[in-house]
């Protein structure tokens, strides 16, 4: 038999030789980020298409509401701007004219142009969630057609009614919706 010390020395030498032949584990390269798998091209194209459709929809919506922004600007000018210095009969007439122009934007002229008085107020009430008060309804229905003395009396004795009419028209314009008109 051999000496255990010589066996271990030989073993140690073989183990050392074997250890010198070992190399580190080679890790595979990380998958490349680009180019992506073909499905990602479709996902990217779909996202671009959705963004473009959303932008077109927002642009059309913004353009469709241009009449509303313009009407609210005219209303602010009539209430607080240079036109606020006009006589009351002119302001009431301009207010009614503005309201009718906005209403004409959303419906056929034949449907709106023939309305006056109670029928006009009923139409306004149907188009809004909030019906006008009695004083505002009277002011909008009869104010534009009243003589100067009557509108001066309304403006001086019923200043709150005139302010309420401006507030009602502002709310009505904001709530106004254009009926979709499809051509055959």
> Between helices 88-106 and 148-157, what is the axis angle to 10°?
90
Distance in angstroms (rounded) separating the CA atoms of residues 89 and 82:
15
Q: Give the chain's mean pLDDT.
A: 83
What pLDDT score does 183 carry? 43
Domain annotation covers residue 19: no
Domain annotation covers residue 78: yes
Tell me 83's DSSP state.
Answer: G
Between 43 and 90, the higher pLDDT residue = 43
Distance in angstroms (rounded) separating the CA atoms of residues 158 and 135:
9
Q: Which two tokens stand for residue 137?
A: 């309804």
Domain annotation covers residue 146: yes
Domain annotation covers residue 17: no
Domain holding 144, by residue range, is: 71-175
What pLDDT score does 50 carry? 98
What pLDDT score does 149 carry? 63
Domain annotation covers residue 34: no
Q: What is the pLDDT of residues 105-119, one digit of tens each?
A: 878 888 888 888 888
Q: How many CA atoms lie within 13 A of 131 on its CB side?
A: 12
Give the residue-averaged pLDDT of 133-160: 72
Rg (CA), the chain: 40
Give the residue-averaged pLDDT of 132-160: 72
The structure's pTM equals 0.67
What pLDDT score does 5 carry? 60
Between 144 and 97, the higher pLDDT residue = 97
Domain annotation covers residue 40: no
32 closest CA partner among 20, 40, 44, 43 = 40
What pLDDT score does 184 carry? 38
Distance in angstroms (rounded) separating the CA atoms of residues 97 and 78:
12
Domain annotation covers residue 148: yes
User: How many domains are contained in the chain?
Assistant: 1
Residue 11 has pLDDT above 70, yes or no: yes
Domain annotation covers residue 15: no
Residue 146 has pLDDT above 70, yes or no: no
At a CB cut-off of 8 Å and minimum separation 6, what does 152 contact?
87, 88, 89
Residue 129 has pLDDT above 70, yes or no: yes
């Amino acid at each position: 038999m051999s000496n255990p010390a010589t066996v271990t020395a030989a073993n140690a030498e073989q183990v050392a030789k074997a250890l010198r032949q070992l190399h580190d584990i080679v890790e595979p390269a990380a998958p490349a980020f680009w180019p992506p798998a073909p499905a990602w091209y479709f996902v990217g194209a779909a996202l671009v298409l959705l963004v473009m459709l959303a932008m077109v929809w927002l642009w059309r919506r913004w353009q469709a509401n241009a009449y509303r922004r313009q009407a609210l600007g005219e209303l602010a000018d009539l209430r607080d701007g240079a036109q606020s210095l006009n006589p009351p009969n002119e302001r009431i007439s301009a207010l009614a004219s503005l309201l009718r122009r906005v209403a004409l934007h959303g419906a056929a002229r034949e449907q709106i142009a023939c309305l006056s008085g109670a029928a006009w107020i009923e139409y306004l009430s149907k188009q809004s969630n909030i019906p006008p008060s009695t004083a505002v309804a009277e002011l909008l229905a009869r104010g534009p057609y009243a003589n100067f003395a009557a509108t001066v009396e309304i403006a001086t004795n019923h200043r709150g009614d005139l302010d309420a009419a401006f507030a009602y028209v502002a709310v009505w314009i904001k709530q106004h919706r254009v009926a979709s008109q499809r051509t055959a």
